[in-house]
Structure 1
């Protein structure tokens, strides 16, 4: 690696500072290895208690449009073309930009939640094939993967706020496209309170009747997903780097934590609105008539949610257009940020690339050949995979291990992940700011927190709970049936459907998939609870009678188990999520500081390309194989098509599904250790080169 002659002394100082544990480099020369920690830890605690000295510029009074703050390159006033007014200059700061970023990314997260919920509805109502499921679920990932590098390279060279404005506008169009199927077509059929009782039927309907609007709804959904994948990249690449470059050093961690956490807030908001709206839609459908025009009422929560996002995103569109390429004082902050960046690949230092595709490929090649950029990109990917895996499998884990209903399991998972995600990221950003961590200390912090998270995930495996007996799955209908088959002589004439899982707990303390599979022929409500009678598969157990003297055979719901370990599980799970996210801000800052500041957007583009590629190609295959291996009972319709898995093997769920989170988090630890190794090797090599050049210079002078 070569170094410019005029920068030898500066590089020597940077190399020496990078090898230290903080600002005080005297600790390095102490022979006792314990002494630096005895000195650094108290100093860090004292520093953590102090408020940051650097603050954002005061924007309470609007500056003069022609003031010296606009004298730097690319800095300008807040306005739309020639429409520039002094009173609006109070908004020309990073705080207002962060507010708009917050609003539009919350809307984007809301879209993610609404898309996930509506996808499940389409999957159930349209009986999607495997190809249709894959395209509808991951088409946004493929588009993100294809456009990330181009958005990062060309958007990073232009006015990033205008790219954000364009994305906000397209996000509104995306929301409208998502809303069209739910507004124009009847997708959610009128809710019918059917009783799943044992009835002798000769139904052979395979359900082959075609839904007239099925194809157009699928095409619109895939098209909207493609638009969504395209609009997400400017938000998470260009908006992210714009915030980083315009924040003071001692506030960067908090700003990055806010920018990186708002999508989860939007996702949680979308889940909450969808859950409440779905219940109200069912009530409206039950109280309404069968008129075809009523479908817009019980689908209102879906199309109105998408339309609301469109309105919000379009409101931010003109405001983003008003920002200049750089905010007042931005050039000064960028020059300060340049001192924190490491240039291991000297081909990028002071290198200018053109607008051609060849220049783009050359710049990407330089970044990909930088070991630090690649290590931290893989750290970010592992972190995202952990989050995705938990969202996918923890609800299944709760259903299988603690016998929760799918709805309750999903809500508890979302709740604990949201708070753990938010607390971890904000606390991580606060620690980075208050301790003023050096680059090397950020890597050490990533290693430590990810390792603790792995240990906590492993502790989850030790949490056990008593499992109820399940007829046909763990128990063979008192010796009359076969394990793995819900049908037995006591219910073989009932022609039971398995589209809806409505568990029943019998008086014999055994659980049944539904009242039909228990052979029940009647039901009624007793003391606010749904009770079943005349169940041919339930012969044993204590009998109790209702107010009319009828003997109750079973009640709706899962059988209660003596499980006191659920709070322990959530304690371990919440702690593991917090520690898994403590390193997020450090990972993001390390990605940005591993390349010249002019290539921040491109380094984030490389990161998102890797993440989206793995997320769209490798991740679905992993999830699919794990689900197939762990499933005991699938929903198979009359046509023989396999739907969702209803019941999982508890032991396989514990070790395979929770093992995925452990593997992903362990990968984060490994890549952070690899980054630390490459960092030490790079600093050592740079220092040796500087010493050799200094000695050669002295010899020439003598």
Structure 2
């Protein structure tokens, strides 16, 4: 009995154990089924977390500026912030931007010319010293030099159209500041335009007293020049690169030529407005009292012109603010340009710089040490120096070599220079567009055209005329005067001034500085020509009487030199302008192509910095030294201040002034050859080094 219960107890103990073993087996089987999931799910979760982390890191890390994805992200609609109107999207293209840009550039060019003419009026009014003239004239370039790199670097990384809008606003402020002196103070006097006759000497002018508004006018002009120069850099640097980035490479030549033509048109508009001032004054009559209303009317063409330019400049402000950082289709253009042959040092391609000041210095140093960009920048600089020298010296050459009046020489120079530049720039842009030139072919084109322009300029020096007798300069007053002195016993009692150059030709075929220095006391118009009578210094030569029986001693204007070579001079001069300026647009495109796309704004900034430094620092003293050495008669006002040079030594002028212009032309030829040589070396060398690194 005892064994039976014991067995039953053992059976009862074994049964749960078996049941437990069965459960364990089932759990083991179930666990074995879960093992793949326990292995896969954690891995999947970990992988998912890793992908999510990588995605977050990718979004948090900024894209490179040169990355097409970054460029595509900047494309947007035309609108003012969140205000986007579908009807206005038709303006979201490069053609409308070009229209606004041309309008802004034209205003800037007009202000440049009109401010230069305003400075000449202030020199007459305030008897400015040479130091004051230099500061007032070159402040524009100093301001441009200081802000060019900063505007190019940070503007190139931001929304360039908004930078242009800010520049248009500053340009309008500059125009208003220019207008204030002409609106508020008397700058131009109508009496300065009157013809001078021999009258008894007056009491010496008291030069101790200062004009009350002299200082404020000078300060306002300097402030306006600073604003004008600051606005200039963003307009030209960022505007040109924006256009270049949104058109195909070969079509960029035509767009840049149109923009450059707008600048020349602005020069012409500014000159036309400034030229109306003196002409308008000749028709004015004084009412006996020079109140504020009168001189505002006399100077209306000046201050109203400045105010009009401010309005035109601010007209572009709002549309420029509506453009996105990149226009639609910019990414596609970037991808297409990447397929073109590389024309820059490939080691610059992966160079990326941040927004810090150290990055700015490193990026600038990187481009300044690039010999290819440096040579292109020097060529562009010497091209402008050549333009400035030609504009300054050729009209003086015409006055002294071909005996033209200053106004006639200036008009003829402008009629040749500005149309020639417009035509040549358009031709250069069209040639690049139609022939689809590579960067290397553009440099070859620059070498050839620069050399032809240089040879044509040499031919100019072979055209000259005979020297006419000039009283007091190359002939004395019948033995009574001294060479180099316009005063002689026959005019010593006349109150003559050398600030007004109005030459007359006597019946003795001798030219006189003015009717006063010829001793003429009376004048009248005869057959629409001004004639002079009772001239004490003119005693020889045949004379004729007018209808009233008065004998004519002299007539207004220069003596006839019987020179028939002036048309030949202008033929050579115009041809030289055409060929010398044909490379202007191609070399600008080369500057944009010899650096990577994301650095082209800074490349233009380096170019303009070099340009402004050379034009404002070494060139003005060189021009001044040349003019001083060749001058033989200066304008001296009644206060004893020396003004402009009226008469030059013909031989010195030819060798020094025109020789200097010839040197500028030659330098462009040599720099273009050097640029082509460096291009072959740098681009090929960088390609070989990249291949070696990849291997």
Q: Same fold (TM over 0.5)?
A: yes
* Other-structure match for 1:477: 477
Larger mean Cα displacement after TM superposition, 665-674 or 277-286: 277-286
Q: Which runs of 4+ in 1 moved over 6 A?
A: none
Structure 1 residues 681, 292: closer, same or farther in 2, change over 3 A? closer
| Partner in structure 2 of residue 666 of structure 1 | 666
Distance (Å, rounded) in 1 between the aligned partners of 2:374 and 2:206:
51
Shift of 1:208: 3.1
What's the offset of the Cα at 1:687?
5.5
Q: Which residue of structure 2 aligns with residue 82 of structure 1? A: 82
Instruction: Tell me, in whole angstroms, the C-alpha distance in 1 between the residues paired with 2:338 and 2:307.
Output: 42
Moved more, 556-565 or 650-659: 650-659
Asked whether the 8 Å contact 2:502–2:514 carries over to 1, the reply is yes
Partner of 1:189: 189
Q: What's the CA shift for 1:80? A: 0.4
Distance in 2, matches of 1:162 and 1:136, equals 29
2:215 alignment partner in structure 1: 215
Which 10-residue stretch deviates more, 202-211 or 496-505? 202-211
Q: CA deviation at 1:280?
A: 2.0
- 1:341 and 1:594 in contact (8 A); partners too: no
Equivalent pair of 2:190/2:284 in contact (CA under 8 Å): no
Quote how far apart the aligned CAs of 1:184 are. 0.9
Partner of 1:462: 462
* Partner Cα separation in structure 2 for residue 128 and residue 623 of structure 1: 19
- Aligned with 2:633: secondary structure? strand
Alignment of 1:88-167 (within 5 A): 88-167=88-167
Q: 1:656 to 1:444 in 2, by over 3 A?
A: same
Residue of structure 1 equivalent to 2:568: 568
SS of 2:498's equivalent?
coil
How much does 1:640 deviate?
A: 2.2
Q: CA RMSD in A?
A: 1.9
List aligned pairs for 1:633-672, cutoff 5 A. Answer: 633-672=633-672
**Cα distance in structure 2, aligned partners of 1:682 and 1:347:** 10
What secondary structure sits across from 1:470 in the alignment?
coil
**What's the counterpart of residue 243 of structure 1?**
243
- TM (normalized to structure 2)? 0.87
Output the CA distance in 2 between the equivalents of 1:280 and 1:122. 18
Secondary structure at the aligned position of 1:186 is classed as: coil
Contact (CA 8 Å) 2:475, 2:483: kept in 1 or not?
A: yes
Q: Following the alignment from structure 1 to structure 2, what is the Cα–Cα distance between the partners of residues 93 and 70?
A: 19
Spell out the pairing of 1:355-366 with structure 2 (5 A cutoff): 355-366=355-366
CA positional deviation for 1:282? 3.6
Alignment check: 8 A CA contact 1:338 1:596 kept: no
Question: By how many angstroms is 1:359 displaced?
Answer: 0.7
Provide Cα deviations, 1:383-426, integer angstroms capped at 9, x if missing partner.
01011111111111111111111111111111211111011011
* Distance apart, 1:117 and its partner CA: 1.0
Residue pair 2:200, 2:495 contacting (<8 A) in 1 also: yes
What is the rounded CA distance, in whole Å, between the counterparts of 1:135 and 1:225 in structure 2?
10
Question: Is the Cα contact below 8 Å between 1:342 and 1:595 reproduced in 2?
Answer: no
CA gap 1:278/1:444 in 2 versus in 1, 3 angstroms: same
Equivalent residue for 1:333? Answer: 333
CA 1:522 to 1:455, structure 2 compared with 1: closer, same or farther past 3 Å?
same
Asked if the contact 2:372–2:594 (Cα under 8 Å) also holds between the matched residues in 1, the reply is yes
Q: Note the 1:481-496 alignment, pairs <5 A.
A: 481-496=481-496
User: 1:658 Cα deviation (Å)?
Assistant: 1.8
Aligned to 1:278: 278
Is the 1:70–1:77 Cα contact (8 Å) retained in structure 2?
no
CA contact (8 A) 1:442 1:586 kept: yes
How far residue 169 of structure 1 moved from its aligned partner, in angstroms, is: 0.7
Partner of 1:265: 265
Asked if structure 1 preserves the Cα contact closer than 8 Å seen for 2:345 and 2:687, the reply is no
Secondary structure in 1 matching 2:451: helix
Unaligned runs of 5+ in 2: 1-68
- 1:512-527 equivalence runs, <5 A: 512-527=512-527
CA distance in 2, matches of 1:153, 1:676: 27
Residue 547 of structure 2 corresponds to: 547
Deviates more, 1:108-117 or 1:182-191: 182-191
Cα distance, 1:291 vs structure 2: 3.2
Structure 1 counterpart SS, 2:505? strand
Matched residues, number = 627
**Per-residue deviation at 1:520?**
1.5
Pairing 1:369-384 to 2, within 5 Å after superposition: 369-384=369-384
Report what 2:607 is aligned to.
607
Q: Secondary structure at the match of 1:250?
A: coil
Counterpart-to-counterpart distance in 2, 1:496 and 1:117:
25
2:367–2:603 Cα contact (<8 Å) kept: yes
Matches within 5 A, 1:429-444: 429-444=429-444
Q: Over residues 529-579 of structure 1, what are the superposed CA-to-partner deviations in whole Å (9 max), with x where a residue is unaligned?
A: 221112121111111111122211111111112111111111111111111
**TM-score when scaled to structure 1?**
0.86
CA contact (8 A) 1:443 1:675 kept: yes
What whole-Å deviation, never above 9, does each CA across 1:161-213 have from its counterpart, x for those lacking one?
A: 00000000111111111111111112222436655222332532243331110
Structure 1 pair 74/691, CA: closer, same or farther in 2 (3 Å)? closer
Quick one: distance in 2 between partners of 1:226 and 1:365? 26
Name the stretch that deviates more: 430-439 or 117-126. Answer: 430-439
Where does residue 299 of structure 2 map in the other structure? 299
Q: Does 1:538 align with 2:538?
A: yes
Counterpart Cα distance in 2 of 1:442 and 1:71:
28
Aligned-partner SS, 2:74: coil
**Runs of 5+ in structure 1 lacking a partner?**
1-68, 698-702
Q: Is the 8 A contact 2:346 2:687 kept in 1?
A: no
Pick the structure with greater CA Rg.
2
Q: Which moved more, 1:474-483 or 1:141-150?
A: 474-483
Higher mean alpha-carbon deviation, 675-684 vs 410-419, is at: 675-684
User: Structure 2 vs 1, CA of residues 493 and 161 (structure 1 numbering), >3 Å: closer, same or farther?
Assistant: same
Structure 1 residue 685: Cα displacement: 2.7
Greater shift after overlay, 106-115 or 330-339? 330-339
- Equivalent position SS for 1:362: helix
* Structure 1 residues 215 and 77: alpha-carbon distance in aligned structure 2, compared to 1, 3 A threshold: same
Equivalent in the alignment of 2:170: 170
Give the secondary structure class of the aligned counterpart of 1:644.
strand
Higher deviation after alignment, 648-657 or 571-580: 648-657
Q: Secondary structure at the match of 1:73?
A: helix
Judge conservation of contact 2:497–2:636 (CA < 8 Å) in 1.
no
